[in-house]
Amino acid sequence: MEKLKYAVHAYAWTGSWSNKTLNLIDRAKKLGFDYIEIPLMEIDLVDAVKIKRHAEDAGIALLTSTACSMEDDITGESATARKKGVIYLKKCVKATAEMGATVFTGVVYSAIGRKIGSMPDEKYWERSAAGLKEAAKYARDLGVTIGLEPINRYESFLVNTCDQALKLRKMIDEPNIAIHLDAYHMNIEETDFYNPTKKAAPCLCHYHLSESHRGIPGTGTVDWKGIYKALGEANYTGVVGMESFAEVSKAMQSATCIWRQLAPSSNELLTEGLRFLKTLEKKYYKKRQ
């Protein structure tokens, strides 16, 4: 009996979410996923009511994510920019709740791709914690958990590792702040996979089970044994998901930096990947069922 809930990111098929892509909810369900992750990067195109209705009809659950832009950066240099960032995070939380979802994650702590001229000092951490604390209080009233996703050094100057995410979580000091790990980024930044996973497990709300090259899980260098061993030992029963790409749109090309075909199609990548991951779950959760 499976304990984990498997999600797929809509970016597996599209680089822009709108009502034109609602059919992806049905596709995710057909491929055997329990959740579909809805991107909120273009929040004004997100019709929460229609998404909720479509997901309910399809019989699939939802979670959401984003990566904050330079215009919505709560670590920005001006108070106006930081305020705008908090407003954006609250809009994302509101949309998440209106969909009937309870988890909103991603690069919510600073702008993705932002680079600064030196090592980040405490002011950046303090700005991020202050903005997220306000967003978290708003989210708590709506029943939404906010997940912090560490990403690699080329995409974030602030939170690259599990330890850094845990540091920020402690600074925010709100009960509905959680951790969202991603194996692709961990492959660059962590010294192993087992220990960060075990450390984050008590406050984990999501886990992108992405291969080192973003292709089919099991065909790269990620230590899947270490991940599933840690998840099994912690008896984690939450959401894990695939954020992998085969059919990369022009809009996603520069964002993903994928310049070669990683699988014949997204459907094949996801089907093979899901089969591989569920096999690992059966092995490492066997003694705990």
- Tens place of pLDDT per residue across the chain (289 aa): 569 999 999 988 888 899 999 999 999 999 999 999 999 999 999 999 999 999 999 999 999 999 999 999 999 999 999 999 999 999 999 999 999 999 999 999 999 999 999 999 999 999 999 999 999 999 999 999 999 999 999 999 999 999 999 999 999 999 999 999 999 999 999 999 999 999 999 999 999 999 999 889 999 999 999 999 999 999 999 999 998 765 555 555 456 666 556 666 778 889 999 999 999 999 999 755 4
Distance CA 217, CA 220 (A): 7
- pLDDT at site 253: 47
Exposure string for 53-74, b = 16+ CB within 10 A, e = fewer: ebbeebebbbbbbbbbeeebbb
Number of C-alpha atoms within 13 angstroms, CB side, residue 90?
13
DSSP string, 169-224: HHHH--TTEEEEEEHHHHHHH-S-SHHHHHHHGGGEEEEE---TTSSSTTSSS--H
Catalytic residue among 149, 155, 211, 281: 149
CATH number of the domain residue 211 falls in: 3.20.20.150
> Residue 139 is encoded by which pair of tokens?
């989210």
What's the domain range around 215?
5-288
0.85 exceeded by pTM:
yes
Instruction: Note whether 37 and 61 are within 8 A (CB).
Output: no
Let me know if 243 is a catalytic residue: yes
* CA–CA separation, 204 and 150 (whole Å): 12
Number of domains in the chain: 1
Q: Among this protein's residues, is 247 annotated catalytic?
A: no
